[in-house]
Chain A
């Protein structure tokens, strides 16, 4: 028989060992040697998943439901390969934002909502309570088996209940370990090492007993299974098809639980030191689960074979079998293994729950009240520490009372599953939160509430009814008498286990409401910020501070004071130094804090008091202006404008390029005009050489004395004519040059156009009569006088008339008339006309028609070019229209020419 003293001594020895290990680890850590930052430690610490439920409960479950107990481990094994995706992202987000718990995680994701933080915290505590209670129950059960605890329902007083003292002891132990450091994001090195030790210890203890039973009490597995089969127990280890649906749903449930149970989240995310450790955890953790489940079924079968049905609680087979065989040492080991499984769960769970509650509920309440805040400010850290301690104690005591009042009749596993379903309610808002930007705060709150209500209605209500705390009619008739609302068969859904049923409906409605509401609500800017950080964490790099849109002003001093309150003077200064150093900002320029610094401080504070409280604290010293969505849009628009500016710059540079192209073109044009000028000069030279050639040739001929008098006269006349021609040419070239360069001055005066035309006609009369061409004139103008340069206009008319005379067949018509606001002088001949392809060049310099009737045109080829210039100088035009038998040149002169002519032009001439 194991004496009471032995067991108590062994328990304390075990706890002492844990404390020593933890203390050693922390001392090493203080020296800078992190013993627990090892992938194996990380992976094994995750085995906090295996609690008294696994240790005792699985055997119990297997003895009634057979292999179904495995579903709770198959789920985690199946999800483990996905950790690289989901867990890594969660870790990255949590490290970046200094997340302290799963409630903090959700609160932070949905705009640092205090409401969500509180809701999740309280719900987690309520949801996890049954789970903690079964740990106490597990220990109590094992003590009972060891004949230490005699429990009678009738004269129950907690002060003489061993389990109560066990609970108290655990609370003390947890407080000692879990609340020494206030920064909840700091790793609890000692704690992690202790939990890892417990994981290894419970596995070895379980394996030892399994081997003892299988190989020492029985002749191995073959023998055990043969005997069980003979006893008609084969239904326990043969899979049948009925349970497939339960297997599926329980597997799914455990997948969610292994990630989102507060203690799993704490060990896997908060205590994680390196994302690389996930690699090891991905295979080592499933391996651990397989090992610890290896002997569950054999032990269950052995228990069923060894004890008459109903005499021993199957949840205690693990200890009852060695006890019945008087293997007391082994039984003690088994007890300690169970104790390890239970304590690790209680410690980690209560630490994470207390952090959650203090940071998400107590702190936001304390700091949101200005007066309270001012009064408590200097003592906040102490308050924080004692709050956490108080919470740990309260949770454990609550769990103890739950176990005594409600959990007594239920098995370990069925109670634990209730907590699983509770935790599953967090899944939609977490998974949606890290993969769906649209998930909104309202959606998360309403979804969560829906899930909680369904969970309560389908799982807790039946327990309350069972224990006589509620009217049982709801169970048979449904809520408000509606048959569709029966807690155990919603909408008439029958044939599912109560857990599967509750899991399915709670998560279904939760998800539906979460997604539905999110789709129809708008996020605030803060929510949107957080959503972006969570979903796009891998794109943000290392600096989430910069990614947020924030506007506000705080003095750096105020921020430092705030940090000092929570971190202590030294740490706060160090943190500030670190920030400024990383930014390379010199000390004397540190007056106002920029948003980056504010976010940095808020993140540091979050690690101590949670993100919602940190936000409130920071807001109290920062004149933050809440940024509305419109303003965010404004900021985005500014970015857009910047982009537009960029575009403008681009178009400007394009314009510049174009300008330079234009310049090049102008240069090109200049070159062309240079070329034209060269050509002009060469043409002029050529034109001059022609008369000179004649003059010289005839002069030389005239040197010959023998030339007859008649020829002499003729030749001399040619010389005179050619000299005239040259003079004319020179005059015209100079004339044109003046017109071209704009230096030509006209002598404007009041002139009678009709008189001018008449005089032109009379001076050309001889030419026409010589050529036998009729000249018909018709002058009709109401205008007595016009403001013109008489000589120039006459030059034009003469030019037109002489051209007409050259080409006309028999008749030339000259008309002067008014059209609209201009006078038109028109000359029309009946010659062959100007070919269409030549018409554009008629007014060019030195253009000479090829089909002139005279053998050689008399003229320089400059006449029309000059005439056109003259018309233009009068504000008018010289135009041409020609077809065979009818060629029409006309000059348009505006009637109000006088007004357009600058006075100085008149004056100068």
Chain B
């Protein structure tokens, strides 16, 4: 069973994604900020991380850089409200596999995750 880590500082978004992916049969971990996320990556080494960017303390970019350095096999999808081209560029240059903007379509996100995990 594939493991997914979802990182966001917005509880309702976490709630919706958690529900969505559990239903799809993934093992889901929840991180509420960048620090928690890195600890969970270390602990569980998920197959994929859904990563918000704007978070207190350690932001998504840093988390992504950390993951891609320590665990390059882990897929990373940015899921963020930051829709500007230069933010996307920055995210992808850090090694992220996909850059999706909020608000998102649940169907799309599920299918993209599926693609990447398999």
Interface residues of A (CB under 8 A from B): 685-686, 689-698, 700-701, 711, 715, 718, 721-722, 848, 850, 855-856
Contact = CB atoms under 8 A, between A and B. Distances in A.
B50 to A, nearest CB: 12
Nearest to B108: A700
A697 B17 contact: yes
A696 B103 contact: yes
Given A697-B20, A701-B20, A856 B11 contact: yes
A700 B12 CA distance: 14
B69 interface: no
A850 B9 contact: no
Interface residues of B, number: 22
B20 A686 contact: no
Contact of B81 (A690, A700, A850): A690
Contacts of A696: 103-105
Contacts of B103: 689, 692-693, 695-697
Contacts of A848: 56
A697 B20 CA distance: 9
B66 to A, nearest CB: 20
Interface hub of A698, A722, A848 (most chain B Cβ within 10 A): A698
B57 interface: yes
B33 to A, nearest CB: 9
B10 A697 contact: no
A757 B65 CA distance: 51
Contacts of A695: 103
A701 B13 contact: no
A434 to B, nearest CB: 84
Given A686-B81, A697-B17, A850-B56, A718 B12 contact: yes
Contacts of B19: 701, 711
A718 B54 contact: no
Interface hub of A692, A711, A856 (most chain B Cβ within 10 A): A856
Contacts of B90: none
B103 to A, nearest CB: 4
Contacts of B57: 850
Contacts of B116: none
A181 B74 CA distance: 123
B56 A689 contact: no
Contacts of A722: 12
Given A690-B102, A855-B32, A701 B16 contact: yes
A689 B102 contact: yes
Chain B binding site: helix, strand, loop or mixed by DSSP? loop
Nearest to B32: A855
Given A689-B81, A689-B102, A694 B20 contact: no
A691 B17 CA distance: 14
B117 interface: no
Given A855-B11, A855-B32, 17 more contacts: A689-B103, A690-B81, A690-B102, A692-B102, A693-B102, A694-B10, A694-B13, A694-B16, A696-B103, A696-B104, A697-B13, A700-B105, A700-B106, A700-B107, A701-B20, A718-B12, A721-B12
B16 A697 contact: yes
Nearest to B57: A850
A211 to B, nearest CB: 115
Interface string B80-118: 011000000000000000000011111100000000000
B15 interface: yes
A685 B101 CA distance: 13
B54 A686 contact: yes
Contacts of A856: 9-11
Contacts of B107: 700
Interface in B26-48: 32
B18 to A, nearest CB: 11
Contacts of B15: 718
B6 to A, nearest CB: 12
B12 A694 contact: yes
14 contacts: A686-B54, A686-B81, A689-B103, A690-B13, A692-B103, A693-B102, A693-B103, A696-B104, A697-B16, A698-B12, A700-B107, A701-B19, A722-B12, A855-B32
Contacts of A701: 16, 19-20, 106
Nearest to A718: B12
Nearest to A855: B11
Contacts of A721: 12
A406 B81 CA distance: 130
A553 to B, nearest CB: 82
Nearest to A698: B16
Contacts of B17: 697
Contacts of B54: 686
A721 B12 CA distance: 10
Nearest to A694: B12
Contacts of B102: 689-690, 692-693
Contacts of B9: 856
A696 B108 CA distance: 13
Nearest to B105: A700
A848 B9 CA distance: 13
Interface hub of A692, A697, A698, A711 (most chain B Cβ within 10 A): A697
A690 B82 CA distance: 11
A691 B10 CA distance: 9
A689 B10 CA distance: 11
A248 B36 CA distance: 112
B30 to A, nearest CB: 11
Contacts of B11: 855-856
A819 B56 CA distance: 39
B104 A690 contact: no
B81 A697 contact: no
B110 to A, nearest CB: 10
A846 to B, nearest CB: 11
Contact of A690 (B10, B20, B32): B10
B104 A693 contact: yes
Nearest to A692: B103
A697 B106 contact: yes
A472 B46 CA distance: 143
B26 to A, nearest CB: 15
Contacts of B13: 690, 693-694, 697
Interface hub of B9, B15, B57, B105 (most chain A Cβ within 10 A): B15
Nearest to A687: B81
Contacts of B106: 697, 700-701
Nearest to B107: A700
A166 B107 CA distance: 147
A126 to B, nearest CB: 108
B51 to A, nearest CB: 14
A695 B10 CA distance: 12
A691 B9 CA distance: 12
A715 B13 CA distance: 11
Interface hub of B9, B13, B82, B107 (most chain A Cβ within 10 A): B13
Nearest to A719: B12
Contacts of A686: 54, 81-82
Nearest to B9: A856
A850 B16 CA distance: 24
A79 to B, nearest CB: 92
A850 B81 CA distance: 20
The 7 residue pairs across chains A and B that have the minimum distance between CB atoms: A697-B16, A689-B81, A694-B12, A693-B102, A693-B103, A700-B106, A696-B103
A394 B15 CA distance: 138
Contacts of B56: 848, 850
Contacts of B16: 694, 697-698, 701, 715
Interface hub of B19, B57, B104 (most chain A Cβ within 10 A): B19
A721 B10 CA distance: 13
A690 B105 CA distance: 14
B32 to A, nearest CB: 6
Interface hub of B10, B102, B103 (most chain A Cβ within 10 A): B103
Interface hub of A692, A701, A848 (most chain B Cβ within 10 A): A701
A807 to B, nearest CB: 15
A685 B102 CA distance: 11
B86 to A, nearest CB: 12
B102 to A, nearest CB: 4
Nearest to A849: B56
